[in-house]
Amino acid sequence: MAVLHVSSQASLHEPLERTCKGAVEPSCSSDPSKDGLCTSFFAFIILAVNCATAIYHSRRDPWSVAFVLAAFIILLLLFYALRVFDSLPHGSLRRIHVKAGVWVLSTVLTIMFSYRVAALMPFPVAAVIWAMAGSTIVAGFYMFFVCRDDVESAAEEKPAKVADMA
């Protein structure tokens, strides 16, 4: 069993490769700055198998098959748009357009799933589901487009270092 030596001066915000001597970098990373191809491929396989299973079980209901296929395609488009969004430089005009596309795709998925769930529920519960969906859509719009400067400036701030108590 390997022993990891951890520096006593380590900060919570310091990358692991500086604090753990001899630590091995994982081969599948979900860090968008790195390739992350292995993680994306694994997630795609799980999603595709899940969709294929759902299509198989609802093969006699064409509307259910269409719903699963539409949700699968929209999810793929959403993941692609998020990957493009992460790769674009801050402040670019294309980044704003991709952000709008992410919001639209998220809104479509929210409406689709809310419709399917609300159709199975009694009216009072369906009303709550639609209210939650509406508030999620409005809150997403507000966070993406109205208060974006506050969020982006907060994300760029560096966290304060934790002082040693010893």
Domain boundaries, the chain: 37-156
Q: pLDDT at position 106, please? A: 95
Burial code (b: 16+ CB inside 10 Å, e: under 16) for 18-54 equals: ebeeeeeeeeeeeeeeeebeebeeeeeeeeeeebeeb
Tokens 């402040």 correspond to what residue?
Answer: 91
For the purposes of burial, counting CB atoms within 10 Å of the CB of 131, is it exposed (0-12), middle (13-18) or buried (19 or more)? exposed
Half-sphere exposure (CA, 13 Å, Cβ side) for 77? 18
Per-residue pLDDT of the chain (166 residues; tens, 9 = 90+): 454 444 444 444 444 444 444 444 444 444 554 556 787 788 889 999 999 999 999 999 999 999 999 999 999 999 999 989 989 988 888 988 999 999 999 999 999 999 999 999 999 999 999 999 999 999 999 988 888 655 566 666 666 666 655 5
Helix orientation angle between 93-118 and 123-141, rounded to the nearest 10 degrees: 180
Q: pLDDT at position 29, please? A: 47
Instruction: Residue 5: name the closest of 110, 40, 86, 18 by CA.
Output: 18
Q: pLDDT at position 17, please? A: 43
Dist. CA 28–CA 22, nearest whole Å: 18
For strand 20-21 and strand 5-6, is the pairing parallel, antiparallel, or unpaired? antiparallel
Residue 125, token pair as written in the block: 């519960």
| Strand ranges (E), 30-109 | none
Give backbone dihedrals phi and psi of 6, rounded to 5 degrees, phi first.
-105, 130
Dist. CA 148–CA 95, nearest whole Å: 12
